[in-house]
Each structure stands twice: as C-alpha cells, then as structure tokens.
Amino acid sequence: MNIRIGYGVDVHQLAENYPLWIGGLKIESDLGAVGHSDADVLLHAICDALLGAANLRDIGFHFSDTDPQFKGIDSKILLKEVYNKVNEKGYSVINIDSTVILEKPKLNPHIPAMQRAIAEILKIEEDAVSIKATTHEKVDSFGERRAIKAYAACLLEKK
C-alpha cells in the first residue's frame, strides 16, 4: 500500500468587522478572521496538508494572496481545487485530523457541520474527518484573541 502523510498549519489575525469562517461555516462571533480570501484557517491548513502529502508545494503557491481573482473567495472552492490537483496526481484521501486554536466562541457545537462540509468536498466519510477545538488558555496572541490558528494532518493513498 502506497500511503503518504502530510501536515499543514495556518494563522489569521482576528479583528472587528470581519466574518469568522471556519471549516466552511460562518460562525457567529464579535471578531472575525482577516485575510485575502475568506480567511478560513481550518480549510487552509487542510489544503496545505493535502498539498504536502502529494508534494505539490503549498496553498500560497497555487492561490497567490495578491491575485484579485482570489479576493474574498470561499475557501471551499480552494479546497475543491486542491482535492482535484491531488486526485490528478493519483491520490485519494484516507483521513484528516485537525486542531483549531481559538479562545472563543466555543466551536464544539459546530464541529459536526464542519465535518460534513469537508467530507463532502474530499469524497470521504464524515468519520474520516476529525476536528478538535482548543483554547490557548488566555496566553499569547491566540489566548488574547488577536489571532486564530489551525493544524491539520492527512493521509493519502495512491490509487
């Protein structure tokens, strides 16, 4: 069996008057994530994990953050395109494991809907998409609600 591991990490600044998109969902929050796209930190970390496992560079290489065509883009579209690139190289996804670091709001109630959104794009079972949420215990930029961070790992299988 030819399997490959990948991991990705992403950070976005938090600020007022921005929406908070995480895992393909818009989350109700007083602070949102700042970015050129919709700034979905979890989908970006998953994109990098998939690209890394297939050795296809990184998300910034494929979708430049200065290119006007990606301004405000729904990151579900980016994840779909990444999935297609990985698929064209002959890989399918076995599973994803991820962690989102956010002081508040609590993400646990939203995790099943995020799992559904991601599983649908990657054509895997919801059970193959793990999303964990943790705070940063009020410490540093994440704990002080100045930033949000996500880590993702994945396994790909050569078809």
Enumerate binding residues for Zn ion (CB under 5 A): 10, 44
44 or 110: CB nearest Zn ion: 44
Q: Which is nearer to Zn ion, 85 or 92 (CB)?
A: 85
Q: Beta-carbon neighbour count of residue 116 at 10 Å?
A: 15
Rounded to a whole number of angstroms, the minimum distance from the CB of residue 98 to Zn ion is 13
Residue ranges in 54-110 assigned as alpha helix (H) = 59-62, 75-88
Our CB check for Zn ion shows the closer of 44 and 76 to be 44
Please state the closest distance from residue 77 (CB atom) to Zn ion, in A: 14
What is the rounded distance in angstroms from the CA atom of residue 68 to the CA atom of residue 73?
A: 10
- CB environment 67-97: b (16+ within 10 A), e (fewer): eeebeeeebbebbeebbebbbeeebebbbbb
Query: Of how many residues is the chain composed?
Result: 159
Instruction: Find the shortest distance in angstroms from Cβ 139 to Zn ion.
Output: 22
Q: How far is the CB of 85 from Zn ion (least distance, A)?
A: 17
> Which residue type, as a one-letter code, is found at position 3?
I
Taking CB positions, which residue lies at the least distance from Zn ion? 44
Using the minimum distance from each CB to Zn ion, give the nearer residue, 21 or 91: 21
